[in-house]
Amino acid sequence: MADKIRIMLVEDHQVVRQGLEALLSTTEDLEVVGSVGDGVEAISRFRSLLPDITLIDLQLPRQGGVETIRQIRAEFPQARFIVLTTYDGDEDIYRALQAGARAYLLKGIPLEDLITTIHAVQNGKLHIPAPVAEKLAERLSGQELTARELNVLERIVAGRANKEISTDLSISEATVKTHINSLLGKLGVADRTQAATIAIQRGLVSHR
């Protein structure tokens, strides 16, 4: 029999992690060699285990999944990652794939689909399910927010008023208003409340 595909799990919920390990261990050619609960630990464990495939969530303690992928791939360019998460915002998808993830799956998918994806990625393929691909296409066709507009948007989500944003970013209130008008237009919304809702849905700002 061919060598087993060695898998590392990076997931902060212990029950989910144990469930995944139990499910994957029922497949003859898969072996879970490591299981960790946060992004920082994932880096050190990756170095010692050198798994074939890493299944990783996006929202992790100490360091998020995207940054963890980025750091590991900077050291190990051939590292293969599959994102397995509940977050389906187009910005989440874009950032994960940009960091080097080879597949993006949503939790709750059938086990057969997960196993198929693991084999596809092990064989050097990308695997993006149709609903995820559609959201990614929306992201790529839309207007990108500038770094400053994202700074302003983060503070809108946090409920800060224009004057507070002005103080935070050391810019005038008039400039804050200009950035807000611009980002409202790019997001296709009419007001701050809608902007905040869209920002969270799309993953433009941190979930935590």
pLDDT tens per residue across span 81-120: 999 988 877 778 888 988 999 999 988 889 999 999 999 9
**Domain range summary for the chain, segments of one domain joined by +:** 5-140, 147-202
CA distances, 108 to each of 105, 161, 176 (Å) = 9, 39, 41
Query: What is residue 1's predicted lDDT score, i.e. its pLDDT?
Result: 46
Query: What is residue 140's predicted lDDT score, i.e. its pLDDT?
Result: 65
Convert the pLDDT of each residue in 195-205 to its tens digit: 888 888 777 87
Query: What is residue 2's predicted lDDT score, i.e. its pLDDT?
Result: 59
* CATH number of this structure's domain 5-140: 3.40.50.2300
Across 166-187, average pLDDT: 90
Is 46 exposed, middle or buried, given 0-12, 13-18 or 19+ CB atoms closer than 10 A? buried
Convert the pLDDT of each residue in 146-167 to its tens digit: 889 989 999 999 999 999 999 9
With cut-offs at 50, 70 and 90, classify the pLDDT of residue 175.
Answer: very high
Query: What is residue 139's predicted lDDT score, i.e. its pLDDT?
Result: 66
The DSSP H or E segment spanning 56 is strand 53-56
The DSSP H or E segment spanning 133 is helix 130-141
The class that CATH gives domain 147-202 is mainly alpha
C-alpha dihedral sign at 107, 108, 109, 114? positive
Q: Determine the Cα–Cα distance for residues 188 and 183; give it in Å rounded to an integer.
A: 8
Across 179-194, average pLDDT: 86
